[in-house]
Amino acid sequence: MAKYKMILDLDTGIDDALAIAYALADQDCDLIGIIGSYGNVLVEQGVRNSLDLLYLLGAENVPVYQGSACASTKNRFAVEPVSATIHGKNGVANLSLKHSPQKPAVENGVDFLITAIHKYQKELIFVPTGPLTNLAAAIKKDPAIVNLIGNVTFMGGALSVPGNVTPAAEANIHQDPVAANEVLRSSLPLTMVGLDVTTRTLLTKKETKKWRSLGTSAGEIYADLVDYYIEAYQVTNAHLAGCALHDPLAVAAALEPSLLDTVFLNMKVDTDLPFEGRTIGDETRINKPAETTQVALDVNKKRFLNKFMTRLTGLFEKY
């Protein structure tokens, strides 16, 4: 029996696809649902990608819920050209995945999250790897959840390194800095897995070649996804010798926190220019104990990469 229940909140592009696979492959994790968000793609496309990837990996029983379609302060969302370059116009390297017969769940993703937190409480881990809009909406609707949930480990932010959309801001936080600020100022048990650590965990075509050699549909498709991702990184992040495993690292760290070196820090997000989206220590709480939010500053990348390849290769062998 799995040690934890997990819900993923994804704007399903390529590294989100890897996060899904890791969650399915780890024996300590029972993936009970995915909530769709916006970011790498429109929310509807992200939900479709999640359904199709679950189908590919023999997990079509995992429900997918649609969440927010845009930031809490906006009325619409448009995909940035750089996102289409990195993930493909459809978020999955422009591949035509076999469509799942499953449809998105009828229930709204925010309501599903609230219900699940009340049901599972400390057993539940929530891993958002896109904007924090859905989580902020859930807190606003039911503030009690902040004291019930086991942990929230999110991919986003940058504390000790520059951002990747502006010198100050990382992409997920920049999408909805108001929502992110509400989350980081809450008393949720949070772990921030930001660019400080995710850009240290790199995958190369050496690993994808291993997946391709399995001779399975999942191995071939995931090799195609990551090869596309690696080639995009050679254009957008030429200083990195591979592609960063942003989202799967958040899943792995949620299940095994010892993979990270963290510091407790009371955090905030700047919501105004010129530093909109910056994740930084909250000066108004500098003399208050920091007890709920941890920020990752280093990662045992060798141990993580070994776990990552062992788990995903084992999963892809089956499908």
Q: What is the CATH number of the domain that holds 113?
A: 3.90.245.10
Q: CA-based angle 207:212:218, to the nearest 5?
A: 105
Number of domains in the chain: 1
CA separation for the pair 163, 174 (Å, rounded): 9
- At residue 242 the predicted structure's pLDDT band, cuts being 50, 70 and 90, is confident
Which positions ≥6 away from 24 have C-beta within 8 Å?
31, 54, 57, 59, 62, 315
Three-class secondary structure of residue 98 per DSSP: coil
**CB contact at 8 A, 41 and 13:** yes
Retrieve residue 201's tokens.
């965990």
Backbone CA torsion sign across 33, 61, 26, 158:
negative
Q: What is the model's pLDDT at position 27?
A: 94
Q: What is the model's pLDDT at position 22?
A: 98
Question: Cβ–Cβ contacts within 10 Å for residue 185, how many?
Answer: 16
Read off the pLDDT of each residue in 253-267 and give the average, rounded to a whole number. Answer: 98
Segments forming the whole domain that contains residue 249: 4-316
- At residue 268 the predicted structure's pLDDT band, cuts being 50, 70 and 90, is very high
Q: What is the model's pLDDT at position 239?
A: 83
pLDDT digits over 136-170, tens only?
Answer: 999 999 999 999 999 999 999 999 999 999 999 99
Backbone CA torsion sign across 49, 42, 270, 164:
positive
Asked whether residue 238 carries a pLDDT value surpassing 80, the answer given is: no
- At residue 189 the predicted structure's pLDDT band, cuts being 50, 70 and 90, is very high
202-203 vs 243-244, strand pairing mode:
antiparallel
From the list 186, 126, 115, the residue with the least C-alpha distance to 151 is 126
3-state helix, strand, coil in the chain (%, to 5): 45, 15, 40
Type of residue at 151: N
From the list 59, 7, 76, 58, the residue with the least C-alpha distance to 36 is 7
Retrieve residue 204's tokens.
């190369």
Read off the pLDDT of each residue in 32-51 and give the average, rounded to a whole number. Answer: 98
Q: How many Å is the maximal CA-CA distance in the chain?
A: 57
Per-position DSSP letters for 184-197, written without gaps between them: HTS---EEEE-HHH
Retrieve residue 199's tokens.
């850009």
**CB contact at 8 A, 32 and 62:** yes
pLDDT digits over 107-126, tens only?
Answer: 999 999 999 999 999 999 99
Read off the pLDDT of each residue in 58-78 and give the average, rounded to a whole number. Answer: 96
